[in-house]
Chain A
């Protein structure tokens, strides 16, 4: 048992070293903005930029909506396919991997081509454009979203759980909402983290659809051709994303616990 614990900690420590060294090196570089001494100058210059906060707010909103739409779309679908239509799984898996090989720049110009004229002129309004951005992010996040949810479903016995709940008289909505979703907690959280990170960091699609309203393009615009500020921005957005994920984690856990309790006694 002792050797076994050592083995686990070996991988954790190794990963920590691997994960943190590049970040430490980036921090170290960002502190060199004043010649010959370490200073927070780069961070100060960055925080004073008025464009950063509104863009962060916008992208966080987009991220949350993307998470809701993405999970709302994928969780029932994967559930259904596992339960009723396993033969459709290859189609689903192939579609979910497709976004990897469609270059983002092709996707965004394609979206603009389809939705900028005629009856579906989404890009003519701000709300339509925002929706298009969210839809694009659901697509870009699809591979991660699908895989995370599918792995979560494979860990619980969907069929048995459903039958058990139904034999107790639960309807479909109740089964999904009160039985399946609470059991998918960590999978859905994982998917949410991945999507939030995509939305906060994405550049290409945002820069052609909404320009400098989104966080990714603003970070680029502020940091480009700046040495130390660019690194400070990297650290800043890394930490911000991490904090936001911590918040989702917190909220997601609590929600899941409450849901679980509610499902129990009834």
Chain B
């Protein structure tokens, strides 16, 4: 057992050093500067009120986004158009992040100027007040500010509603003989093992709202989701509920042919599947449709504040709003667009019938928080979280 410790330490030290050097060398090789930003296109008209902002944003060169899946509300086209129009690079962080993660990302990056710090957020309506409370949003009012309804924006511009959708049934008609029309239909024996949620009601806003929406049909109210919980309990007991988190693949394979989902996601699926399988979106008849709103905000620590402001101007311009509408998200300035006849006929023709949307109910922040609290607290106990 004779050793020469000092020399061993030296050798392991040298080994670490060599490896570290190797790594640094390879990293610098990986990190060779990217292609220069494409040459700026001159603004179309001389008197662009945004000219100054555009110039400032271009000087920053980049926008960092988070939680924007390309098939969600047509964000793919939004980002591509924005890039092409202003010649900015768009750095996309975690496209799958939930609202809580977006907020954590902002907080963790306080004081950081790196590309990990998100500039702009798209979070659930219920998170708006938290942004103000924790002082992590930067106030900004877009030029079209006045046409955003007052009840879905912060008076000082810390956050502002961006789009909304309503909940309904996405039905893969190839696997379901009779398309359910009402919430109560879902309990019928013919739908055994066919009904699923698009999220876990302890984690996902969409799933919580699904419980709330069911509550509206079962005698509850926006403040009282318990009948909705009871409904899912029954759905589980009769064996109709499949606990799988529904995704495009489980819908297309027929494992979860009926999913409770936002209209824009269901309708996008319908287009992507293009008949393989056929999708029908149903707004249930036995309750007013429940609407869900998302909000935009700029991070208080945004490394590219001007690019962020330009992004907001773009999103809230008619052009940006119509791109959302093409993705079946009702933009927050929808009524303004309708009033000014600004919706092109080809986009309008593809939208679902407008009639149920007129009856849609929009929960207030208070109602959202109360219902959310009850659903997340009681889901386990009422519906039963014991997989045996």
Contact = CB atoms under 8 A, between A and B. Distances in A.
Given A125-B31, A208-B105, A225-B272, A230 B113 contact: no
A89 interface: no
A9 B68 CA distance: 49
A72 B16 contact: yes
A171 B377 CA distance: 64
Contact of A134 (B15, B23, B72): B23
A254 interface: no
Interface in B4-50: 4-5, 7-8, 11-12, 14-16, 19-20, 22-24, 26-28, 30-31
A61 B252 contact: no
B116 A225 contact: no
Interface stretch (A16-24, A27-35, A141-149, A182-190): A27-35
B30 A61 contact: yes
B253 A129 contact: no
Interface of A: 29, 32-35, 58, 61, 65, 68-69, 72-73, 76-77, 80, 83-84, 105, 109-110, 112-113, 116-117, 121, 123-127, 129-131, 134, 159, 163, 166, 171-173, 176, 203-204, 207-212, 217, 220-221, 224-228, 230-231
Interface stretch (B87-95, B152-160, B181-189): B87-95
A218 B273 CA distance: 21
Contact of A58 (B22, B30, B265, B277): B30
B315 to A, nearest CB: 20
Contacts of A121: 112, 114
Given A73-B16, A73-B19, 20 more contacts: A29-B252, A58-B30, A72-B15, A76-B15, A105-B101, A109-B104, A116-B112, A117-B110, A124-B114, A126-B115, A129-B115, A173-B11, A204-B94, A211-B93, A225-B248, A225-B265, A226-B272, A227-B247, A227-B252, A230-B247
Contact of A80 (B12, B30, B95, B108): B12
B310 interface: no
A173 B6 CA distance: 12
28 contacts: A32-B252, A33-B276, A65-B23, A65-B26, A69-B19, A69-B20, A69-B23, A76-B12, A84-B5, A105-B101, A110-B108, A112-B112, A116-B116, A125-B114, A127-B24, A131-B23, A163-B1, A171-B11, A172-B7, A173-B14, A204-B94, A208-B116, A212-B95, A224-B95, A225-B248, A226-B272, A227-B248, A227-B253
Contacts of A225: 69, 71-72, 247-248, 265, 268-269, 272
Chain A to chain B: the 3 pairs with minimum beta-carbon distance, closest first: A116-B112, A123-B114, A207-B94
B111 interface: yes
Nearest to B64: A211
Contacts of B2: 163, 166
B301 to A, nearest CB: 10
Interface string B80-124: 000000000001111111000100110011111111110000000
A203 B96 contact: yes
A224 B96 contact: yes
A127 B5 contact: no
Contacts of A32: 252, 276
Given A61-B30, A130-B31, A172-B4, A228 B252 contact: yes
B251 interface: yes
A48 to B, nearest CB: 15
B349 interface: no
Nearest to B68: A221
